[in-house]
Chains A and B, each alone.
Chain A
Amino acid sequence: MELLNQNTKKIMEECKSRARDAGLCFGDSSLEYLVTNKDMTELSPKLMIPTLYNYWVNDVEVLKGKGLYEAYPNNPFETVINSRPAISFYNDNNPDWLNIMIFYHVLAHIDFFQNNRFFKHTWNDDFVGQALADKRLIEQLRGEQGRWVDYVIEFARSIDNITNFYNLLHYDYNKDRDVSLRLNYYFEVFLQQEKKTGESLVFNEIERYNGFVESHGALAESIFFSELKDIYPEFNALFTKWSEKNNKSKRFDLLSYINDHSPFLAKQKNIWMKEILAIVRNTANYFAPQIRTKILNEGWASYWHDNLFTADPRIAGHEVDYALVNAKVTSISRVGLNPYAIGLRLVEYVKELSNKGKFDYRYSLITNVENRLAYNKNTNQGTESIFKLRSDFSDFSLINTFIDQDFIDKHELFVTGKRINKQENVIDYYVKSRNYKDYKRMITDSLYHPPKIDVDEQKTSEETLYLTHLFEGKQLVFDDLADVLRGLEFLWGGEVQLETTEIHAMKGSDNKNLFDYKRVVYTMSKKKIKRAEL
Chain B
Amino acid sequence: MTKPKENIKCTMADLSGISSANRESRGTFRLVDILPIRLETILYNLLSKSSVLQMHTLDDLIERDKQREEDGFPKRIKLGKIVKPVKGKKGKVIVVPTTTEPKFNHDDSIMGDSDEVGSTGGSGKGEEGEVIGKQPIDNNGNQGEGQGAGQGSGGDHELTSEAFDLGRILHEQFNLPNLKVKGSKKAFAKYRYELTDRNRGFGQLLDKKESLKRIIQTNIMLGNIDLQKEINPADFIVSPDSMVYRIMSREKEFESQALVFFVRDYSGSMYGNPTEAVCSQHLLVYSWLMYQYKNRVKTRFILHDTDAKEVSDFYTYYKSAVAGGTQIYPAFEMVSKIIKAENLAVDYNIYILYGTDGDDWDKSGDKVVEELKKLTPYVNRIGLTVVRNSYSAGVMSTFENYIIASGLLRTQIEKIRMDVFTNNDFDEPRLIEGIKKLFAE
Contacts from A to B (Cβ < 8 Å):
1-3, 20, 23-29, 31, 33, 39, 42-43, 46, 50-51, 54, 56-57, 59-64, 66-68, 70-72, 84-87, 114, 120, 123-124, 126, 128-129, 132, 147, 151, 154, 157-162, 176, 332-338, 342, 411-422, 424-434, 439, 442-443, 445, 449-451, 453, 469, 472, 474-478, 480-481, 483-484, 486-487, 503, 505, 507, 511-513, 515, 527
A256 CB, nearest partner CB in chain B, Å: 16
Distance, CA A73 to CA B184, complexed state (A): 44
Cβ-closest chain B residue relative to A50 = B51
Distance, CA A114 to CA B14, complexed state (A): 11
The answer to whether B193 has its CB under 8 Å from any CB of chain A is: no
Contact B121 A431 (CB under 8 A): no
The answer to whether B235 has its CB under 8 Å from any CB of chain A is: no
The answer to whether B132 has its CB under 8 Å from any CB of chain A is: yes
25 A-B pairs with CB atoms under 8 Å apart are A27-B15, A31-B39, A42-B51, A51-B42, A54-B54, A54-B55, A67-B82, A71-B83, A71-B92, A84-B18, A85-B36, A87-B43, A123-B19, A128-B42, A161-B103, A337-B121, A416-B120, A417-B119, A427-B134, A430-B129, A434-B128, A442-B120, A451-B105, A474-B107, A511-B113
A157 and B101 in contact, given A413-B123, A442-B121, A476-B107 (Cβ under 8 angstroms): yes
Cβ-closest chain A residue relative to B12 = A28
Q: Select which of B111, B117, B122 is within 8 A of A415 by beta carbon.
A: B122
Contact A335 B121 (CB under 8 A): yes
A431 and B15 in contact, given A29-B32, A505-B110 (Cβ under 8 angstroms): no
A-facing residues in B170-203 (Cβ within 8 Å): none
Contact A419 B17 (CB under 8 A): no
Distance, CA A412 to CA B125, complexed state (A): 7
Cβ-closest chain A residue relative to B126 = A431
Complex contacts, A420 vs chain B, CB 8 Å: 115, 117, 137
Complex contacts, B106 vs chain A, CB 8 Å: 449-451, 472, 474-477
Complex contacts, A1 vs chain B, CB 8 Å: 47-48, 51
The answer to whether B116 has its CB under 8 Å from any CB of chain A is: yes
Contact B56 A416 (CB under 8 A): no
Complex contacts, A433 vs chain B, CB 8 Å: 128
The answer to whether B98 has its CB under 8 Å from any CB of chain A is: yes
Contact B132 A431 (CB under 8 A): yes
Complex contacts, B129 vs chain A, CB 8 Å: 430-432
Q: Which of B67-75, B249-257, B349-357 contacts A (4 or more CB under 8 A)?
A: B67-75
Contact B133 A70 (CB under 8 A): no
The answer to whether B342 has its CB under 8 Å from any CB of chain A is: no
A427 and B135 in contact, given A158-B102, A450-B105, A476-B107 (Cβ under 8 angstroms): yes
Complex contacts, A43 vs chain B, CB 8 Å: 51
Contact A453 B72 (CB under 8 A): no
Complex contacts, A147 vs chain B, CB 8 Å: 64, 67, 71
Distance, CA A38 to CA B197, complexed state (A): 30
Contact B119 A442 (CB under 8 A): yes
A129 and B42 in contact, given A336-B121, A412-B124 (Cβ under 8 angstroms): yes
Complex contacts, B131 vs chain A, CB 8 Å: 428-430
Contact A85 B121 (CB under 8 A): no
Contact A443 B121 (CB under 8 A): yes
The answer to whether B394 has its CB under 8 Å from any CB of chain A is: no
Complex contacts, B100 vs chain A, CB 8 Å: 480
A-facing residues in B39-62 (Cβ within 8 Å): 39-40, 42-43, 46-48, 51-52, 54-56, 58, 61
A125 CB, nearest partner CB in chain B, Å: 10
Distance, CA A515 to CA B133, complexed state (A): 30
Complex contacts, A484 vs chain B, CB 8 Å: 102-104
Contact A20 B10 (CB under 8 A): yes
A293 CB, nearest partner CB in chain B, Å: 17
Distance, CA A134 to CA B210, complexed state (A): 49
Complex contacts, A505 vs chain B, CB 8 Å: 110, 114
Q: Select which of A20, A159, A332, A419 is within 8 A of B117 by beta carbon.
A: A419
Nearest first, the 3 closest Cβ-Cβ pairs linking A and B are: A27-B17, A483-B102, A67-B96
The answer to whether B99 has its CB under 8 Å from any CB of chain A is: yes
Contact B113 A512 (CB under 8 A): yes
Contact B137 A427 (CB under 8 A): yes
A158 and B101 in contact, given A123-B17, A429-B134 (Cβ under 8 angstroms): yes
The answer to whether B95 has its CB under 8 Å from any CB of chain A is: yes
Cβ-closest chain A residue relative to B137 = A425
Distance, CA A336 to CA B122, complexed state (A): 6
The answer to whether B127 has its CB under 8 Å from any CB of chain A is: yes
Cβ-closest chain A residue relative to B11 = A25
Contact B135 A475 (CB under 8 A): no
Contact B117 A513 (CB under 8 A): no
- For the complex with contacts A123-B18, A332-B121, 18 further pairs of A-B residues with Cβ separation under 8 Å are A25-B15, A27-B16, A42-B52, A64-B98, A67-B96, A129-B42, A159-B104, A161-B105, A333-B122, A335-B120, A342-B121, A413-B123, A418-B119, A420-B137, A426-B135, A427-B134, A431-B122, A431-B130
Complex contacts, B82 vs chain A, CB 8 Å: 67-68, 70-72
Complex contacts, A158 vs chain B, CB 8 Å: 101-104
Complex contacts, A418 vs chain B, CB 8 Å: 116-120
A-facing residues in B78-104 (Cβ within 8 Å): 80, 82-85, 92, 94-104
Complex contacts, B42 vs chain A, CB 8 Å: 51, 128-129, 132
Contact A429 B128 (CB under 8 A): no
Distance, CA A322 to CA B6, complexed state (A): 40
A525 CB, nearest partner CB in chain B, Å: 14
Contact A477 B10 (CB under 8 A): no
Distance, CA A520 to CA B141, complexed state (A): 32
Complex contacts, B19 vs chain A, CB 8 Å: 120, 123-124
Distance, CA A221 to CA B107, complexed state (A): 50
The answer to whether B77 has its CB under 8 Å from any CB of chain A is: yes
Contact A486 B73 (CB under 8 A): yes
Complex contacts, B223 vs chain A, CB 8 Å: none
Contact B35 A85 (CB under 8 A): yes
Q: Select which of A50, A71, A332, A476 is within 8 A of B84 by beta carbon.
A: A71
A172 CB, nearest partner CB in chain B, Å: 12
Contact B105 A416 (CB under 8 A): no
Distance, CA A433 to CA B124, complexed state (A): 12
Complex contacts, B14 vs chain A, CB 8 Å: 25
Cβ-closest chain A residue relative to B105 = A477
Contact B115 A419 (CB under 8 A): yes
Q: Select which of B39, B51, B77, B122 is within 8 A of A126 by beta carbon.
A: B39
The answer to whether B28 has its CB under 8 Å from any CB of chain A is: no
Distance, CA A115 to CA B18, complexed state (A): 10
Complex contacts, A333 vs chain B, CB 8 Å: 121-123
Complex contacts, B85 vs chain A, CB 8 Å: 71
A475 and B61 in contact, given A60-B97, A147-B67 (Cβ under 8 angstroms): no
Cβ-closest chain A residue relative to B14 = A25
Distance, CA A31 to CA B47, complexed state (A): 14
Distance, CA A58 to CA B127, complexed state (A): 46
The answer to whether B112 has its CB under 8 Å from any CB of chain A is: yes
A495 CB, nearest partner CB in chain B, Å: 15
Complex contacts, A414 vs chain B, CB 8 Å: 121-123, 126, 128
Contact A334 B124 (CB under 8 A): yes
Contact B104 A476 (CB under 8 A): yes
Q: Select which of B46, B105, B128 is within 8 A of A50 by beta carbon.
A: B46
A50 and B47 in contact, given A335-B120, A430-B131 (Cβ under 8 angstroms): yes
Contact B55 A62 (CB under 8 A): yes
Complex contacts, A56 vs chain B, CB 8 Å: 56, 61, 64
Distance, CA A480 to CA B99, complexed state (A): 12
A5 CB, nearest partner CB in chain B, Å: 14
Complex contacts, A434 vs chain B, CB 8 Å: 128
The answer to whether B136 has its CB under 8 Å from any CB of chain A is: yes
Complex contacts, B230 vs chain A, CB 8 Å: none
Choose among B92, B99, B123 the residue with the greatest number of A CB atoms under 10 Å from its CB: B123
Q: Select which of A33, A68, A123, A159 is within 8 A of B103 by beta carbon.
A: A159
Contact B39 A128 (CB under 8 A): yes
Cβ-closest chain A residue relative to B78 = A60
Distance, CA A483 to CA B73, complexed state (A): 8
Distance, CA A161 to CA B134, complexed state (A): 36
Q: Select which of A60, A67, A338, A422 is within 8 A of B99 by beta carbon.
A: A60
